[in-house]
Amino acid sequence: MPYEHLIYDRQDHVVVITLNRPERMNAMNRPLHNDLMAACAEAQADDEVRAIVLTGAGRGFCSGADVSAATPEAATRVAPPPATQRERLDQYQWMGDQAMAVYRLDKPVVAAMNGVCVGAGMSLALACDMRVGSEQSRFRAMFLERNLSPDSGMSWLLPRIIGYSRAFDVIGTSRDIDGEEAYRLGMLDRFVPPERLMDESLALATRLAAWPPLAIRAAKRVIQQNMDSRLEDGLRNEIHHISQVRTAVNDTRESRAARAEQRPPHYTGT
């Protein structure tokens, strides 16, 4: 489907989703949020999509929530329509819904960190499974500077990625974290030359997309489920997901045949 504020580009089994508000450093407003939610749903529903790369146009990945609505100029704009009942009853609010949409998308999501990543934009990057960055990547929590505590999933995601004390340091100091420090802390999983950022991100996503589709999706699900599980529950979760993966009988046969014939496998998800 066409999108107004992002670019959705499928290349074989990999989709590149590019936030496309470069004049605002891809700050997240309602229209971009709605496009991103729809793009996640489209990628989730399309069995031909096996991995996603999320990035931003221009110099920024995402500069957080668009606060321009709070400026004096905003008073002259047309007032938004009243919130629907569903919106008023939404316990996660719209930025929380966004974090859930990306984190619970059960296909691998690689963030290509092309530049500035702040506040809710940083939360968005953390909701991805892996992050590829360079010396041009920049992170900043920002919330305290706006008299806010973290939202958009940051307080849940960041400690699980880099540990409690480092997460508190990043949020509590609200300092700029450059690409090298982000890689050292574990916020970035790959640190590459700036000119290689998209190539390396696409190569990583392509490698993830080459595995049996049900197996990689089940692997993501079970890892996420077992982050907060007891060992006993974790073992049961593993058996459950293995039983689901085994329903792709053709991919099981193909994995054996490819090994026996010493050739690259071709998986179909069937």
Average pLDDT for 200-224: 97
The more confidently predicted of residues 208 and 77 is: 208
**How confident is the model at residue 2, as a pLDDT?**
85
Average pLDDT for 118-134: 97
| CATH code, residues 6-209 | 3.90.226.10
Q: State the residue for tokens 């496309």.
A: 20
pLDDT above 90 coverage of the chain, percent: 87
DSSP annotation of 229 reads: S
DSSP annotation of 166 reads: H
Domain ranges of the chain: 6-209, 213-261
CA angle 100, 105, 106 (to 5 degrees): 135
**How confident is the model at residue 73, as a pLDDT?**
47
Compute the distance between CA of residue 58 and CA of residue 24 in angstroms, rounded to an integer.
Answer: 10
Q: Are residues 220 and 129 in contact, defined by beta-carbon separation less than 8 angstroms?
A: yes
The more confidently predicted of residues 195 and 72 is: 195
User: What does the block give as tokens for 142?
Assistant: 């920002």
Compute the distance between CA of residue 157 and CA of residue 140 in angstroms, rounded to an integer.
Answer: 15
Residue 198 banded pLDDT, cuts 50, 70, 90:
very high
Sheet with 51-56: strands ordered across: 6-11, 14-19, 51-56, 109-112, 130-133, 190-191
Inform me whether the pLDDT recorded for 145 exceeds 80. Answer: yes
Q: What are the tens digits of pLDDT across the range 12-63?
A: 999 999 999 999 999 999 999 999 999 999 999 999 999 999 999 999 999 9
Number of helices (H) and strands (E) in the chain: give both, helices first.
11, 10
User: What does the block give as tokens for 209?
Assistant: 């997309």
Q: What are the tens digits of pLDDT across the range 48-107?
A: 999 999 999 999 999 999 987 554 444 445 666 777 777 666 666 778 889 999 999 999
Average pLDDT for 193-211: 98
Q: State the average pLDDT for the chain.
A: 93
Which helix (H) or strand (E) covers residue 116, if one does? strand 116-118
**How confident is the model at residue 1, as a pLDDT?**
72
Which region among 44-53, 79-88, 144-153, 235-244 has the lowest average model confidence (pLDDT)? 79-88
Backbone φ and ψ of 58, nearest 5° = 80, -145
Question: With 0-12 CB in 10 A as exposed, 13-18 as middle and 19+ as buried, what is 182?
Answer: buried
**How confident is the model at residue 76, as a pLDDT?**
47
Average pLDDT for 120-143: 97
- Whether the model clears a pTM of 0.85, i.e. scores above it, the answer is yes
DSSP annotation of 65 reads: B
